[in-house]
Amino acid sequence: MSCRYKEKLPAVDIFVCTADPTLEPPSLVIGTVLSVMSYNYPSQKISVYLSDDGGSELTFYALFEASKFARYWIPFSNKYNVEPRSPRVYFSHNIVADSSSFAQEWTNVKQLYEDMSSRIDSVVAKGRVPEFIRDQHKGFSEWNSEVKKHDHQSIVQILIDGWNPEATDTEGNRLPTLVYLSREKRLGWHHNFKAGSMNALIRVSSEISNAPVILNVDCDMYANDPDAIKDAMCFFLDEKHGSQTCYVQYPQQYNNIVKNDVYANQNFTLTDIELSGLDGFGVALYIGTGCFHRRESLSGKKFSTDHKIDSRNVEHNIKGRTVEELESSTKVLANCSYEKGTLWGKEMGLVYGFPVEDIVTGLSIQCRGWKPVYYNPTKHAFKGVAPTSLDVSLIQFTRWSEGMFQIFLSKYCPFIHGRGKIQFGGQMGYCIYLLWPMLSLPTLCYAVVPALSLLRGVPLFPKVSSFSFVPFAFVFAAKTGYSLAEDIAAGNTLKGWWNVQRMVLIRRTTAFFLALIETAMKLLGLSQSTFVLTAKVVDEEAQERYKKGLIEFGSSSILMVILATLALLNLLGLGWGVSNALVSSSFDRLTFLPQLLVCGALVGMNLPVYDAVFFRSDKGSMPLSVTFKSSVIASVAILISIC
């Protein structure tokens, strides 16, 4: 394809979003930025925009450093075709120790990278940019004493103007354009989280480079495959179906998964089976990162006939203006009041009002007649940072499931909004995810009732020896066997599958349940939408525990209380049942066996919880307050059920 189109390849605007210099360290963010700046694609056709919702001078400083280091990194990585293109990841993995000219250059570039990293780290540790550095770029003057994270003017700084013939790398090749954007924030204005920042990016970039294709990634998701832009272009430029394609979504993959994946982050069945299956119904979920969009469809256009991607050669920024002119004219587009009375957030750009702006936006684009693509190549195109503590992972699932359920209950419900526009199979496919919080109810029944009724001596299932037990046994065996076979076929291990079972149980009984309650509160007007950012770093000790596959409980959130309570209930239920079965002659073993098995399975899955409650003493163990609260709740529940 690149031979056929040559200079006529379409331009790409790449959006990277970040929101907090503590949870998302600037050195991580620029690793991603540098990786997308160095794609195997003509540099003049790439413009990279970093949106900083943290409004942080530290992030701007890191980007300023990256704009200088790019002059070395881009020619080096292109010349030797290094992979991945994130210097942060590349230099942490590879060692070259010979005397070739490659080794020489490798050592030089690595040194430059390390010097830059340590400068950034020391500035970040200080928390402010020293005067002598501030003098090096006019952009720093935007940060005066009045700039606060949630209260500041719009900041647009073009750090590299790719149309300037003098903006070249060390080999004399043109550099991609690099822009820093921090949209205006004012107390009292709702900023709509990532959706708001993406919409500001769409507008600002439309004035500067206005590329017909947009790639958006989260700040932790670096480019792993240098050819991914070319691959994605094949879908948009396809002569038969290309004109209808709205976005090409790659799956979320991670670079920090440990053996057997304790938090089940890697979700084999989702990426390899479910999402591919949905694609068969013409449905692809937009999942917020690792997605190439057609600018037209993302901005709100309906599909009509024959949309062609504009692939002119780009000699100037679209208006032929100077950097200063562009900076001042685009700031307005990122102001709080700009969207007032417009269709932004409704019919234009990403949809507002949902903690999963991505899913609802993808759905609404599709309902405007466009066709998305889910593309899952063997070589992962992007890799991000997966949560490394239970708390963070569950908070993420609470946000997702709550957001999904809100879509189901809104006018965007696929069965209503998608009627006649999405195949019925696709509508149902969406609802598998949108209805996540509802799964908490049956799962909670299984996690509570068998244990309590054992204690009370009430049988729940038919006698094992009776014919009516067959359907129960069949469903259990078929479901377990199927899920195991599916996971193994998709590449998981047996232990990995077992970890998935545990995480599914935990997510359903804690995160999904909380999401259900929160949604109800929102419907009653008692609570407001939030977006709790996923932390991308943990301290070193916690990192060691993660590597060993130890689960990090160590948080006193309500999620942990629910988790520990259920674990204790089942332990007591099982203990009581087993001791009765051993000693009591009046205990009907065949009648109570299924209940004992359910409790037994739950206890098996909860083994790490008991370890954290009773034995571990590190910081990742269960906090005493949680143990106390959950023991009290479990005892009360037991007392009530026995009396």
Ligand X SMILES: O=c1ccn([C@@H]2O[C@H](COP(=O)(O)OP(=O)(O)O[C@H]3O[C@H](CO)[C@@H](O)[C@H](O)[C@H]3O)[C@@H](O)[C@H]2O)c(=O)[nH]1
Residue 36 and residue 289 in contact, taking contact as beta carbons nearer than 8 Å: no
Which CB atom, from 133 or from 537, has the smaller least distance to ligand X? Answer: 537
227 assigned ligand-binding residue: no
Exposed, middle or buried, 261 (CB in 10 Å: 0-12/13-18/19+)?
Answer: buried
Handedness of CA 423, 429, 433, 435 (dihedral sign): positive
Listed residue (215, 187, 208, 180) closest to 292, CA to CA? 215
Q: How far is the CB of 254 from ligand X (least distance, A)?
A: 10
Exposed, middle or buried, 144 (CB in 10 Å: 0-12/13-18/19+)?
Answer: exposed
Which CB atom, from 19 or from 564, has the smaller least distance to ligand X? Answer: 19
Q: Give the position of tokens 């390849």.
A: 9
Q: What are the C-alpha distances in Å from 505 to residues 18, 392, 511?
A: 31, 16, 10
Listed residue (222, 198, 270, 188) closest to 13, CA to CA? 198
Q: Which does 531 bind (CB under 5 to 8 A by kind): ligand X, Mn ion, none?
A: ligand X
Residues 150-169 that bind ligand X (CB under 6 A): none
Which CB atom, from 323 or from 516, has the smaller least distance to ligand X? Answer: 516
Q: Which H, E and C letters describe 314-376, residue by residue?
A: CCCCCCCCCHHHHHHHHHHHHCHHHHCCCCECCCECCCCCCCCHHHHHHHHHHCCCCEEEECC
- How many residues are listed for the chain in this entry? 643
Which CB atom, from 533 or from 622, has the smaller least distance to ligand X? Answer: 533
Which CB atom, from 317 or from 406, has the smaller least distance to ligand X? Answer: 406
Interface with ligand X, residue 533, by CB under 6 A: yes
> Active-site residue numbers?
53, 358
Interface with ligand X, residue 197, by CB under 6 A: yes
544 assigned ligand-binding residue: no
Q: Give the position of tokens 């019925």.
A: 424
Interface with ligand X, residue 222, by CB under 6 A: no
Interface with ligand X, residue 402, by CB under 6 A: no
Q: Which spans of this chain sit near Mn ion (rule: CB under 5 A)?
A: 218, 534
357 assigned ligand-binding residue: no
Interface with ligand X, residue 55, by CB under 6 A: no
Interface with ligand X, residue 24, by CB under 6 A: yes
Q: Which does 356 bind (CB under 5 to 8 A by kind): Mn ion, ligand X, none?
A: ligand X
Q: How far is the CB of 195 from ligand X (least distance, A)?
A: 8
Strand locations in 142-287 (E): 155-160, 177-182, 213-218, 222-223, 245-249
Q: Which does 152 bind (CB under 5 to 8 A by kind): Mn ion, ligand X, none?
A: none
194 assigned ligand-binding residue: yes
Interface with ligand X, residue 271, by CB under 6 A: no
Cα(450)–Cα(246) distance, rounded to whole angstroms?
A: 49
Question: DSSP 3-state helix, strand, coil percentages of the chain (rounded to 5)?
Answer: 55, 10, 35
Among residues 12, 19, 82, 550, which is the contact residue for ligand X, using CB under 6 A?
19
The residue sitting closest to ligand X, measured at its beta carbon, is: 288
Q: Which does 194 bind (CB under 5 to 8 A by kind): ligand X, Mn ion, none?
A: ligand X
Which CB atom, from 265 or from 565, has the smaller least distance to Mn ion? Answer: 265
Prior bond to 450 cis, omega within 30? no
Interface with ligand X, residue 289, by CB under 6 A: yes
For residue 158, give the 3-state DSSP assignment.
strand
Binding-site residues for UDP-alpha-D-glucose, please?
A: 24, 53
Kindly list the residues in this chain that would bind ligand X in the complex (CB under 6 A).
Answer: 17-19, 24, 51, 53, 193-194, 197, 218-219, 288-289, 355-356, 358, 396, 399-400, 403, 531, 533-534
